[in-house]
A and B are shown apart, each in its own frame.
Chain A
Amino acid sequence: MTIIETLFFTIVDRGKANAVLHKARECGAKGGTILLGEGTVQSKLLKKIGVTELHKEILVISASEELSDKLHDTLCEAFSFSKRNKGIAFTIPFKRWHKQTSGQEEKISGNSSYEHKITHYCIITVVDKGRGRECIKSAKTAGARGGTLIHGRGAGIPTDFYFPLVIEPQKDVVMIITTKEKVSPIRERIFSDLDLGKAGNGILFTLPITRTSGLFEDRFGESKEGTS
C-alpha cells in the first residue's frame, strides 16, 4: 500500500468549524463533514455552578497522510491549537474504500506501515442516550482528560406500541482521546462502570491515532505533544 489515507478530525467551539473548513480548503482539502457535539468542562469553578456543557463542532475531513500533516501545521497556526481550550485535531488512519480496488484488497488490520507512529488512541463508546456523561465521568476517574459527546441514533427496531413506530433508539456517542499508555485502564474502567458486558448496554471500540494537535495531558499546560 503506497498511500495511507486518513480521516482528519478537528474539535472546535461551535460556530468555528466553518472557518476551519475554509482554511482547510485552502490547504487542498476537498470537503468535510461537520457534526454538532458537546464537550466537557475543565474548570472546577464552573462545574460547581453546574455548568457542564460546552457546545462543540466536530469537523471530519478525508485526507491523505501528507495533506493531513499539512492540515495539522496550518490549522495549528491559524487557530492556535497549541493554546489551551482552543481546539484539538487528530488523525485516524482510515482506508478509503474504492470500488476498483475492493477485489484484491488485503486485510488492512495487518498493515504495519503506520503502526509505529501510533501515539494516541481514540476510544469511542456508544451508549443509550443520557449515559454519555456517566461514561465521560468514569473515564476521567481512570485518567482521561475529557471527552466529546455526539448525539446519534441506533438503527431501527420495530415495537408494538399503538402506532407502529420503528423506534430509533437515541444514543450518545462518546469520543475520548488518550495516550497509548492510558488506553487500557480507561477502557476497563468504562467497561466495568457502565456494565457494557451486559447485552444492550452499549459498545466500546478504539481507533488508533497517528498524530494529535492541541492535546493537553495535565493541568498545568505543558504540552506533551503539541505536534508529535
Chain B
Amino acid sequence: MSLLFEKTKEVLRTLLPVVILVLLLCLTIVDVETDVLIRFLVDSFLLLIGLSVFLYGVDLSMNPIGEYMSQEVATSKTPIKIAILSFLLGFLITVAEPDLLILGHQIQEASGNTLSSSIIVYMVSIGVGVLISLSVFRLLRDKPSYSAFMAVIYGIIFILVFLVSEEFLAISFDASGATTGALTTPFVLAISLGLSNIKGGKNEEENSFGLVGAMSAGPILAVMLMSIISGQKHIQGDAGEYVYAEGVFGPIISMFPGILLESLIALLPITILFFLFNFIKFKIPKENLKGITGGLLITLLGLAVFLTAVNSGFMDMGRIIGIEIGQMNPWILIGIGFLLGLIVVLVEPAVHVLGEQIEEVTSGHIPISLIRSTLSIGVGTAIALSMVRIIVPEVKLWYFLIPGFVIAILLSFIADPVFVGIAYDAGGVASGPMTATFVLAFAQGAATIIETANVLVDGFGVIAMVAMSPVLSIMILGIIFRFRHKKVEYPIVAKKPAVTSHLVDEINLEHDCILVIVNRGFAEKVVEVARQSGAKGATIMRGRGADENQKVMLPIINIELQPEKEIVWFIITTDVSSSIADSLLNDRQLEQDGEITVFVSPTEAMVRTFSTIHVSENNE
C-alpha cells in the first residue's frame, strides 16, 4: 500500500464524518437548495483528492526543505547569521500568505483606511520573523525552558490586552490564525523537527515542537502594537452583503485559477530561498532535487484543489446551516457548533502533519488518536462557547480568552514537557483553512440572523477561540501524562569530546555485532560506557517497547502506553566485544533504570578494504 493511498485513507476517515453530519442536517432540519448540496458533495470529493495530494507533496518537498534550511541555521558559526536567517524564514513564509492579505484588507476597511493593508501585512510578517528568530535561539541554547519563554511572551500580550479594544483583541488573535495557514504550518513544523534533530540531546523530543506556537504569538503582538500606536480603537462598518454562488461546477471552475495563483505566490518565497541556498551551499544531488521539485509541484496542485473545494462548497454550506439553525432555535446552535468543531478540526491539513510528526518523534509512544480526540474536544468547546457569545451579547470574548490562556500557561509548568510544545503548536494548527472558511461561515451565518450579534466582531472572535482552546485541552492531557504511573529519570551524561571518528580504522578482523535495548534517554550513557571499554562508534535508533512487567498507564483515562526505547548498534572487534558487553551489564544505573538488554552476534563487517569479503567468506 503506497503512502499516497494511506494518506487518502486517512483523509477519508476524517472527512467522512463531516460529510455525514452535513447530509444529516440537510435531510432533516436544514433546507438547502439542490445545487448547493450537490456542489458540496462534489467539493468534498475534490477536498479528499486535494488534501491527500497536498499532504503527500508536503512529505516530499516541505520536509526535506525544512530539514536543509534548519541545518543551515543550526550550523551557523555566528549568532548574526542565525538571527538573520531565521528571521528571513519567518518573514518570507508569512508575507506571502494569502489569508493574511485578505485579513489586511478587512482591517483596512474596518478601520476606515487609517491602517493600510500592506503595513499590516509587513508588520505581522516582521512579528513572525522576530519570534521565530527568538525561539530558534531559545531552542539552540536550550534555555530558558519553553514554558517560561511562552509565559513571558503571553505575559506581554496580556499587558497589551488592557490597552486595546475588544475588536482589536479579536482581530489580533485572528491575525495569528491567518498566518498559520495550510502551507506555513507544515513548513515551520519541519524546521522545528530539523533543528531539534540536529541539536539532539535529551530534550530532543521537547524541542521538536513549539515553533508554530511561538510563531503565532507574533501577529498578536504586531496587531496589538499597531492598534496602540495608531490610536485606532474601534472598527466601523459591517460585513458586506454575502453573495451565494450559483450552479454546481461554475463556482468551482471560476475560483480555481485565482486560488492557484494565490497558492503559487504563497509557495514562491520558500522555493526561491531554498533554490538560492541550494545554488550557493547545499548542492543537493540532481535526483534528490528532482524529487523536491516534483514535490513542490504536487504540493501546489493539491493546495489549490483543496482551497478551491473549501472556498466554493464548504463556505456556502456553513453559512446556510448557520442561518437556518439560528432561525429555528438559537440554542440548537450551541450543540451543532460543538459537533461541527469536533469533527471539522480533524480535516485541517496541519492537524495531519502534526500527527505524523508526533508519531515520528515519539516512535508511536504518544498515540495520535489521543491527541486528535483532545484537539477535537477543545475545538468543539471553542465553537460552542463562540455560539453562546453570539446568542448572549453580554458574554465578551475575553471572558474565555484571557482565563483560558492564563490557565494554559500555569499548567505548562507542570505538564509533561513534550506536550507543552505540542499544545502551543496545536493552537496554530487547529486554526487553519477549514476553520477559517467552514466554521467561520457557520458562525457568521448565525450572527446575521441573531439581531443582537455583530457579524464582524463576533465572526472575528471565533478563530481566536479555536486558537486558544486546543492549547488548554492538550495542556491538560500533558498533565495527565505527567502523572503516568511509571517515571523514567534520565541519566546525566558528562559531555566529553570524542577523539575518534565514527568509523573504525582496522576492520579486516572479525567483528561482533552488539545490539543493546534500553529505555529512552540512556543511549548516550550506553555509548559512553562502551567507549570507555574500547568501542568507537555506534548507531542509535528510536523505538517503542512492550513488556509484560513494564506497563505505563495513564491515570484517569486508563490508556496503556508503550514505553519509549532506544536501540544501540555497535560493530566491535571480537577481542573487545565481550568486555564491552560485560561492562554494559555491570553498570548499575543502566541495569536498574535503563532496563538494559544486550545481544551479541558474530558479523562480517566490511568497512575499510575491499578484500574484507574474501577474508570473511572463509570464516563462514
Residues of A within 8 A of B (CB): 5, 7, 13-14, 18, 21, 25, 30-36, 41, 46, 49-51, 53-55, 57-58, 60, 62, 92-99, 102, 105, 107-109, 115, 118, 124, 126, 130, 150-163, 165-171, 173, 184, 187-188, 191-192, 196-197, 199-200, 203-208
- Which B residues between 487 and 534 are near A, CB-CB below 8 angstroms? 495, 497-498, 501-505, 510-513, 515, 517, 524, 527, 531
Q: Are B498 and A160 in contact (CB under 8 A)?
A: no
Chain B interface size range: 35 or more
- Do A196 and B606 form a contact, CB below 8 Å, given A32-B546, A55-B6, A173-B539? yes
Task: Identify A34's interface contact among B3, B545, B599, CB under 8 A.
Answer: B545
Check B600–A94 contact: CB distance below 8 A.
yes
A-B CB proximity, top 6 nearest: A31-B547, A109-B602, A168-B200, A205-B605, A152-B541, A94-B599
Among A57, A150, A165, A203, chain B packs the most CB atoms within 10 A around the CB of A203
Tell me how far the C-beta of A76 lies from the nearest C-beta in chain B, rounded to whole angstroms.
Answer: 20
Option from A96, A99, A154 in Cβ contact (under 8 Å) with B502: A154
Query: Which has the most chain B C-beta neighbours within 10 Å: A62, A94, A205?
Result: A205
From A93, A99, A109, A207, name the one whose CB has the most chain B CB atoms within 10 angstroms.
A109
Interface presence of B482 (CB below 8 A): no
For the residues of B in contact with A, the DSSP-based class is: mixed
Q: Is the CB of B541 within 8 A of A95?
A: no
Q: Which residue of A lies closest to B295 (CB)?
A: A50
The CA of A51 and the CA of B360, in the complex, are separated in Å by 19
| B602 and A108 form a contact (CB under 8 A) | yes
If A34-B544, A156-B200, A170-B197 touch, does A162 touch B77 (CB 8 Å cutoff)? yes
Assembly CA distance A21 to B495 (angstroms): 37
Q: Select which of A41, A154, A200 is within 8 A of B538 by beta carbon.
A: A154
Bound-state CA distance A152–B504 (Å) is 18
Tell whether B76 is near chain A: CB-to-CB under 8 Å. yes
A1 → chain B closest CB, angstroms:
13
Q: Does B118 contact A (CB under 8 A)?
A: no
Name the A residues within 8 Å of B613 (CB-CB): 184, 187-188, 191
Are B3 and A31 touching (Cβ within 8 A)? no
A23 to B189, CA, bound (A): 36
In the bound complex, do residue A197 and residue B610 qualify as a contact, i.e. CB atoms below 8 Å apart? yes
Our pick among B2, B140, B504, B524 for the contact of A156 (Cβ within 8 Å) is: B524
Q: Separation in Å of the A94 CB from the closest CB of chain B?
A: 4
Interchain CB contact under 8 A, B599 and A96:
yes
Known contacts: A97-B599, A102-B578. The answer to whether A166 contacts B571 by CB under 8 A is: no
B141 located at the interface, meaning its Cβ lies under 8 Å from any Cβ of chain A in the complex:
yes
Contacting pair A102 B503 (CB below 8 A): no
Closest-by-CB residue of A relative to B512 is A109
CB distance from B581 to the nearest CB of A (A): 4
Would you give the shortest CB distance from B287 to chain A, in whole angstroms?
Answer: 9
The residue in A7, A124, A206 that gathers the most chain B C-beta atoms within 10 A of its C-beta is: A206
Q: Are A196 and B607 in contact (CB under 8 A)?
A: yes
Chain B residue contacts of A54, Cβ below 8 A: 1-3
Contact with A along B1-44 (1 / 0, CB 8 A): 11110100000000000000000000000000000000000000
Q: With A53-B3, A54-B3, A196-B607 in contact, do A30 and B548 touch (Cβ < 8 Å)?
A: yes
Query: Which residues from A are CB-within-8-Å of B571?
Result: 203, 205
A58 to B545: give the CA distance in the assembly, Å. 11
